[in-house]
A and B are shown apart, each in its own frame.
Chain A
């Protein structure tokens, strides 16, 4: 079974600065997807970024980028130029490659962006 660990329950960052959220996972699969989801106070889950394990290049979406280390089974999220709207719970998630597979979520990191 897959497990996802997020070792930082809470983090804070000053507005406009950079912060990195950690995620590690355990799997015997070779092909899979990894995701970061954001859950703001509205509780709507919002996809932040996605990484296919077979791609060596780290995914980037505007101010969000990942550091994917497949051998180390590490998938950290870097948020640059942090904004107040980035304040939310961030969940790391793992999904096997086969269609119809469910997510395995990490416990989450609560990020607060301070003015």
Chain B
């Protein structure tokens, strides 16, 4: 259980176009999803926290108008890179936190489940 998928796994686009990346929790509900960016040989950098039905919370330095995040359902969050430029080329990873169980907190999330990532190349 607790599988997270991302689509597409790889995408190549031209500079100036927009690209949408989907993150899905396949077998659980994810009230909260996170979007990370990872440069080669570096750690994961949190871009934004996405909560179902509300606006995403962006980390300092991340342009919210460039990286549009939508969390329309408990199983799907999307990241749209608008007007992509070559410097946006990177590896994007999402993760999902399982729904909190107020009656049985021990069964709630105490970790995150990561998607396989999407490699974006902007030409």
Contacts and interface: CB of A to CB of B under 8 A. Distances in A.
B97 interface: yes
B34 A91 contact: no
Contacts of A35: 111
Interface residues of B, number: 24
Given A102-B49, A106-B43, A47 B111 contact: yes
Contacts of B111: 33, 35, 47, 50, 95
A33 B108 CA distance: 13
Interface of A: 33, 35, 37, 42-45, 47, 50, 52, 91, 95, 99-100, 102-103, 105-108, 110
A10 to B, nearest CB: 10
Given A33-B110, A33-B111, A107 B46 contact: no
A107 B43 contact: yes
Interface stretch (B17-25, B61-69, B78-86, B112-120): B112-120
A100 B31 contact: yes
A44 B43 contact: no
B104 to A, nearest CB: 13
B93 interface: yes
B109 interface: yes
Given A33-B110, A50-B111, A100-B31, A91 B100 contact: no
B28 interface: no
Given A44-B116, A44-B117, A45-B93, A99 B108 contact: yes
Contacts of A102: 34, 46, 49
A43 B97 contact: no
Contacts of B114: 37, 44-45
A88 to B, nearest CB: 13
A110 B117 CA distance: 19
A6 to B, nearest CB: 9
